């Protein structure tokens, strides 16, 4: 049974959220998620959440709000987001909507001393992972968060020369996880490699509003950039 997580609640402002982030002040805050017109840098939408809400949580709702508000149902061409939005849920929604998506990368490093997950190759036809020693990790179960678990055979692992570099589990079994929407993340990755110019637009077109808010008003914001098709000249920046 999982132990309940400790939740900090402000006695003076219970609607705020306790924020803990690397390089950020720790405490009770709100987050300002805003929409900015690309051409004139006019703020067209502001959405506020508690400080402990992850940036990616309100994204899909705000995207759908902007699409409806500006009539982008058939004109929205692309979105460019930073690495904080690279979640299975967001990727799945963007793929379903057939929106060209560019999301910043984040460097993930394996546990010190252990080989990386990329060394395990996924075989879609057999629905198994293949380890560097050519043994299969077979599907076991799917957890409540949507992650499929693939487990190795401890009998093979016990005598494997790479055991110490592969896992530190006491039962000598390697476990690899793969989200049920992982294919959508791969779909986004393919476009992110070819759409770097879209990602750079975020820095050239929407920084004024966020820079002013940070420098003049003491706010810390996260932004993402949306591009409609050429016939609709109103690119906007969506909040997260």
Same domain, 138 and 94: no
Confidence of residue 228 (pLDDT cuts 50, 70, 90): very low
Q: How many CB atoms lie within 10 A of CB 135?
A: 17
The residue from 130, 152, 179 where one domain ends is 179
**If you average pLDDT over each of 9-13, 119-123, 234-238, which comes out highest?**
119-123
Output the pLDDT for position 137: 97
Residue among 139, 133, 135 nearest 151 (CA): 139
- What is the pTM for the complete model shown? 0.76
DSSP letter (8 states) at residue 2: P
Same domain, 127 and 84: no
Residues 191, 105 contacting (CB under 8 angstroms): no
DSSP strand pairing (100-103 vs 121-123): unpaired
Could you report the per-residue pLDDT of 91-127, keeping only the tens digit for each? 999 999 999 998 887 766 667 888 989 899 999 999 9
Residue among 163, 179, 178, 169 nearest 131 (CA): 163
Output the pLDDT for position 172: 94
Q: Is 50 inside any structural domain?
A: yes
Output the pLDDT for position 58: 92
Q: Is 229 inside any structural domain?
A: yes
Same domain, 91 and 200: yes
Give the range of the structural domain holding residue 143, as residue numbers without chain letter. 117-179
Same domain, 192 and 100: yes
Could you report the per-residue pLDDT of 185-201, keeping only the tens digit for each? 999 998 877 787 877 77
Rounded to an integer, what is the distance from CA 71 to the centroid of its chain?
A: 26
Q: Is 193 inside any structural domain?
A: yes
Average pLDDT over residues 223-233: 43
Q: Which residue has the tokens 């409609």?
A: 228
Could you report the per-residue pLDDT of 127-185, keeping only the tens digit for each? 999 999 999 999 999 999 999 999 999 999 999 999 999 999 999 999 999 999 999 99
DSSP 145-187: TSEEEEE--HHHHTT-TTHHHH---TT---EEEEETTHHHHHH
The residue from 127, 155, 179 where one domain ends is 179
Same domain, 35 and 100: yes
Output the pLDDT for position 41: 66
Could you report the per-residue pLDDT of 15-66, keeping only the tens digit for each? 999 988 887 788 998 887 876 666 566 777 788 999 999 889 999 999 899 8
Structure tokens given for 99: 């929106």
Output the pLDDT for position 226: 47
Q: Which residue has the tokens 């093979």?
A: 156
**Higher pLDDT, residue 222 or 2:** 2
Same domain, 123 and 155: yes
Output the pLDDT for position 171: 94
Could you report the per-residue pLDDT of 117-141, keeping only the tens digit for each? 989 999 999 999 999 999 999 999 9
Same domain, 175 and 72: no
Q: Print burial letters for 180-197: b (CB count within 10 Å at least 16), e (below 16).
A: ebbebbebbeebbeebee
The residue from 179, 206, 228 where one domain ends is 179
Same domain, 123 and 139: yes
Same domain, 188 and 88: yes
Same domain, 137 and 36: no
Output the pLDDT for position 230: 41
List 100's β-bridge partners, or say none.
Answer: 78
């Amino acid at each position: 049974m999982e132990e309940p997580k400790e939740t900090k609640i402000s006695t003076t402002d219970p609607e705020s959220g306790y924020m803990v982030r690397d390089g950020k002040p720790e405490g009770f805050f709100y987050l300002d998620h805003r929409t900015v017109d690309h051409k004139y840098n006019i703020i067209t939408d502001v959405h506020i959440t508690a400080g402990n809400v992850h940036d990616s949580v309100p994204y899909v709702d705000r995207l759908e709000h902007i699409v409806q508000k500006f009539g982008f149902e058939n004109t929205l061409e692309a979105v460019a987001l930073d690495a904080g939005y690279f979640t299975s849920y967001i990727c799945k929604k963007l793929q379903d909507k057939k929106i060209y998506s560019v999301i910043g990368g984040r460097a993930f490093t394996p546990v010190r001393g252990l080989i990386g997950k990329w060394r395990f190759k996924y075989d879609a036809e057999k629905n198994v992972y293949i380890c560097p020693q050519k043994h299969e990790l077979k599907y076991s179960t799917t957890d409540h968060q949507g992650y499929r678990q693939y487990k190795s055979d401890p009998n093979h692992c016990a005598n494997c020369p790479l055991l110490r570099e592969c896992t530190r589990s006491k039962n000598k079994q390697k476990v690899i996880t793969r989200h049920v929407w992982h294919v959508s993340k791969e779909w986004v990755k393919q476009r992110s490699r070819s759409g770097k110019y879209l990602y750079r637009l975020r820095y050239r077109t929407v920084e004024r509003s966020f820079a002013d808010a940070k420098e003049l008003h003491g706010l810390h914001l996260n932004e993402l950039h949306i591009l409609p098709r050429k016939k609709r000249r109103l690119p906007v920046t969506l909040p997260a």
